[in-house]
Amino acid sequence: MVLTLAHKLSPSVADLKPSATLLINERSKTLAAAGKKVYRLGFGQSPFPVPGEVVQALRDHASEKDYLPGRGLYALREAVAGFTQKTKGLACSAEDVMIGPGSKELMFSLQMALDADLLLPSPSWVSYEPQAHILQKKTHWLETREEDGWRLQAATLDRACAASPARSKLLILNYPNNPVGNSYDGAQLKALAEVARRYGVIVLADEIYSMVHHEGGQCSHAAHYPEGTIVSSGLSKWCGAGGWRLGTFVFPKELRYVLDAMAGIASETFSAVSAPVQFAAITAFKGSPGTDRYVFRSRRVLKTVGRFVYQRLKKMGVTMPAPEGGFYLFPNFEKHRPGLAKKDIYGSAAFCEALLEETGIALLPGEVFGRPPGELSCRLSFVDFDGKAALLASAQNVDLPEGEIFVKNNCPKIYEAMDVLAAWLDQD
């Protein structure tokens, strides 16, 4: 039967496009299926396999079939609290923890729960702003500068807060950062925390990459502003389990009412994260010498590959902050503007389009992270390699050989992509 009524979409979703990261992944796959060599530097998921003992725990709990509490399995919440104390030095207990189907979904329910405007440094990860848009919340983009490593400055936050002091605000601060690949140090977080406290801003510290800070030991915003900071993390990045869909929020006691509201939203929407995944996650968060080794080696590989790509890009005249954690760089091709203009390229979207078509290299345009469309910034994720093999190779070398040799042997597509990119930029 044909529907005769004209059904309209809600205004807040009518203009929504699929997430840019998922789109580039689909596009790269289509080109690869058509026989084109594609360098997949657009999509950013962990290259590493889930640690064996965590996979075994999932097997062992495959028969768990009951619905679990909306806040999460108590034993898992205890394990997350223990992990947060151990890795970040924050005082917390199981009661402060909420488990969700990915931290992305928890962020969506947080924005739904709060009657607040969203403050976002530009650039920021792709999904924060669309979530605010769907929920019809106002977003204020906060300017940053490349010379400050694209980091939010306390004075900028102060100005944004002073402009509408009566309005409740949620600031999302992500470090190590996607898309930039650098982080904030203790002094920088402290300066931001002082401003946030002065204006009563709630801060969501998105620390999903903190375990893969290349040097380890990432400090938390919550250490400087415990009463107003919610810490976001999960299994996706440090444990290689993005597809398992498990995210964690840790709340201060002062914001327990927000957790309660989010548990209410959970009970009316996703109910709870899948039971076998929650049981398996206990093993991941309790940790072991095996998972410690896995994290140590993951960091070592990411640091080596990140430094290599950074050095190669610098030699091409590309500017960007040095990598400090996670698996991204935020190259700016501004110095190539005259040559690119000859190809009719004046912004990041056209740049990425031409690069993918002409070389098979997939990057994401800076525009989708909130940068002005005319800027020539892009996000590059350096994870197009066999993570399992790279972990093994890094285990065999207590001191990794020079980055170049390691990358050439273990991440050949990344190595080749740098040659291809240099040749493309040199064409003019």
Ligand X SMILES: Cc1ncc(COP(=O)(O)O)c(C=O)c1O
Which residues contact ligand X (rule: CB under 6 A)? 102-104, 125, 174, 178, 206, 208, 234, 236, 242, 247
Closer CB to ligand X, 234 or 240, in the complex: 234
Element holding 229 (H helix, E strand): strand 229-234
Judge whether 147 and 397 are in contact, CB under 8 Å: no
Residue 192: CB minimum distance to ligand X, A:
17
Rounded least distance, CB 110 to ligand X, Å: 12
**Packing angle of the helix pair 275-286, 74-88 (nearest 10 deg):** 30
Question: Token pair of 251, please?
Answer: 């709340």
Spatial strand order in the sheet of 328-329: 328-329, 378-381, 364-365
Question: Nearest to ligand X by Cβ — which residue?
Answer: 102
Distance CA(106)–CA(349), nearest Å, equals 30
Nearer to ligand X, 123 or 276 (CB): 123
Nearer to ligand X, 101 or 287 (CB): 101
Distances in Å between the Cα of 160 and the Cα atoms of 140, 183, 337, 342 are 8, 22, 32, 39
Instruction: Provide, rounded to whole angstroms, the least separation between the CB of residue 103 and ligand X.
Output: 3
Instruction: Give residues with Cβ within 8 angstroms of 383, minimum separation 6.
Output: 44, 45, 46, 47, 327
Rounded Cα gap, residues 47 and 240, in angstroms:
7
Residues paired with 250 in a beta bridge: 97, 231
| Residue closer to ligand X (CB basis): 104 or 224 | 104
CA distance 31 to 156: 42
Closest to ligand X by CB, 225 vs 238, is 238
In sequence order, what are the residues at sequence separation of 6 or more whose Cβ sits closer than 8 angstroms to the Cβ of residue 76?
99, 278, 279, 281, 282, 285
CB of 104 to ligand X, least distance (A): 3
Nearer CB in complex with ligand X: 188/236:
236
Between 104 and 336, name the residue whose CB sits nearer to ligand X. 104
Altogether, the residues listed in the chain come to a count of 428
- Give the nearest distance from C-beta 335 to ligand X in angstroms: 28
- As measured in angstroms, the least distance from the Cβ of 27 to ligand X is 18
Taking the complex as a whole, the smallest distance from the CB of residue 65 to ligand X amounts, in Å, to 24
